[in-house]
Amino acid sequence: METTRLEPFIIDTFKELHSCPELSYEEFGTTAKIKSILQKENIEVLDLPLKTGLVAKIGNEESPVVALRADIDALPIDEETNLPYASKTPGKMHACGHDFHTAALLGAALSLKSTEDKLKGGVLLVFQPAEEDAGGALKIVGTNALKDAKVIYGLHTSPLYPVGTLGISPGPVMAAVDRFTVTFVGKGCHAAHPDEGADVIPLVSEFVLALQTIVSRNSNPFAANLVSVTKVSAGNTWNVLPETAEIEGTVRTLTIEDRKMIKSRFYALAEGLAAAFGAKVKIDWWDGPPPTINDVLWTNFVEHIAEKEGFIVEAATPSLGGEDFSEYQAKIPGVYIKVGTGETYPHHTSKFVADPAALLPAANLLAHLARETLRGIK
Ligand code: NI
């Protein structure tokens, strides 16, 4: 595609994607659209066992390979932006800018395809499903399609920066996301005879407060960690002490060491307090994606290329939000780049918008990163 037609094409594609959001693992229409755009440009779509999402390839198979990743799914939110291209589906919205990522990567694909003969290797284009459900990256990793990739780049919209600014930092930029449910089982009894039971209400209260000492007493004071209890439930009336109490919540950490330390302190407190109160405890723990940690050398390289492309580069504002881009980084070095899409409402809210003016520069950045990376590695 000619360069002059690229920007209107990316913007139109973005608006179309925005108006037709699909939730994690339901991105059938989105996948079909991506596929038809790629195939129209004679870009090879790999034959992989994926229900939604896809991986495509440009360039030479025998040479080094670089991967570019976009996520494609939307969220169960009712859009309230009043945009002319707002979601046509009530209750679903691209409220995290994954439509932007998809359109920018398609733009990069078309740009790379038009200069394919000059590429010094292969470029894998990853259109990943289900980032919000935090399982999509593992589906792609499981296909083994990225086995030859030497480095992977991914970008994400950011409402914290104006268009033209990028947030890039080496090291941890997004958190590991773990989730827990804890059930204490004591002995229910009449509220007037607590001595005949084992009351779980003071137990769960102590536990919720004790959990906060993990961050304040066991973590290095310079580390960013958190434990949030998001649900507490026990009892159903005023004159009966309940048998069980349950809490639910999440742990966020930026390093593997802190992740291990918090889990072990968490179990020690739950088991120790339960024993002290004469109760039993059952802990359910789900390990989510690891922290997103940018490779130091490749981050320097990205900063250099971004500045050459005319971006203002700032240190990325770290977040304890999660991002399954880290599942790729667990296998290959990678850099996760925050792209300024205009200072506006936060991600995952009904008023989040991404300024389409940021699309072409983002697409050019991805294409340029792929070209220059291939020039630099053997
Ligand atoms: Ni997102």
> What does the pLDDT read at residue 271?
98
Q: How many angstroms is it from 272 CA to the middle of ligand 1?
A: 38
User: What CA–CA distances, in Å, run from 145 to 55, 149, 312?
Assistant: 8, 9, 33
- In the DSSP assignment, the letter for residue 43 is P
3-state secondary structure of 359: helix
Please give the distance, rounded to the nearest whole angstrom, from the Cα atom of residue 2 to the centre of ligand 1: 30
HSE-up of residue 26 (Cα within 13 Å, Cβ side): 10
CA of 206 to the centre of ligand 1 (A): 35
* CA–CA dist 40, 33 (Å, integer): 11
Alpha carbon of 80 to those of 85, 330, 345, 349: distances in Å?
12, 37, 11, 9
DSSP string, 52-121: S-EEEEEE-SSS-EEEEEEE---BS-------TT--SSTT-B--SSHHHHHHHHHHHHHHHHHTGGG-SS
Going from the Cα of 97 to the center of ligand 1, the distance in angstroms, rounded, reads: 6
Which pLDDT tens digits describe the chain residue by residue (378 residues)? 667 899 999 999 999 999 999 999 999 999 999 999 999 999 999 999 999 999 999 998 677 999 999 999 999 999 999 999 999 999 999 999 999 999 999 999 999 999 999 999 999 999 999 999 868 999 999 999 999 999 999 999 999 999 999 999 999 999 999 999 999 999 999 999 999 999 999 999 999 999 999 999 999 999 999 999 999 999 999 999 999 999 999 999 999 999 999 999 999 999 999 999 999 999 999 999 999 999 999 999 999 999 999 999 999 988 999 999 999 999 999 999 999 999 999 999 999 999 999 999 999 999 999 999 999 876
Give me ligand 1 centre to Cα 295, in Å: 20
310: CA distance to ligand 1 center in Å?
25
**How far does the centroid of ligand 1 lie from the alpha carbon of residue 132, in Å?**
7
- Residues around ion ligand 1, judged by CB within 5 A, are 96
Q: Rounded to whole angstroms, how far apart are CA atoms 285 and 277?
A: 22
**Gap from CA of 271 to ligand 1 centroid (Å):** 36
Output phi, psi for 306, to 5 deg: -65, -40
Taking each helix axis from N to C terminus, what angle separates 359-376 and 296-308, rounded to the nearest 10 degrees?
A: 120
- Ligand 1 center to residue 158 CA distance, Å? 9
d(CA 301, CA 306): 9
The confidence score (pLDDT) of residue 211 equals: 98
Q: How many residues does the chain have?
A: 378
Which residue(s) pair with 181 in the sheet?
Answer: 248, 284
What's the 39 CA to ligand 1 centre distance in angstroms? 26
Class of CATH domain 3-170+295-376? alpha beta
- How many A from CA of 348 to the centre of ligand 1? 8
Q: 95 CA to middle of ligand 1, Å? A: 8
| DSSP assignment letter at 229 | E
Query: From the CA of 98, how far away is ligand 1's center (Å)?
Result: 6
Cα(375) to centroid of ligand 1, in Å?
Answer: 30
> What is the pLDDT, as a whole number, of residue 294?
97
Three-class SS of residue 329? helix
User: What pLDDT is recorded for position 1?
Assistant: 67
Determine whether domain 174-287 maps to CATH 3.40.190.10.
no
Residue 188 CA to residue 185 CA, distance in Å, equals 9
CA dist 29 and 17 (Å) reads 9
| CA atoms of 336 and 358, how far apart (whole Å) | 17
Quote the CA–CA distance of 306 and 327 in Å, as a whole number: 24
Centroid of ligand 1 to alpha carbon of 283 (angstroms)? 29
Rounded to the nearest whole angstrom, what is the distance from the C-alpha of residue 223 to the centroid of ligand 1?
24
Cα–ligand 1 centroid distance for 365 (angstroms): 19
Distance 279 CA to ligand 1 centre (A): 41
DSSP state of 373: H
Q: What is the pLDDT of residue 378?
A: 63
Instruction: Output the CA 73–ligand 1 centroid distance in Å.
Output: 9
Query: How many Å lie between the centroid of ligand 1 and the Cα of residue 134?
Result: 10
- Residue 32 CA, ligand 1 centroid: distance in Å: 21
For the chain, give every domain's residue range. 3-170+295-376, 174-287
Q: How far is the CA of 322 from the centre of ligand 1 (A)?
A: 9
State residue 154's pLDDT score: 98
AA identity, residue 164 = G
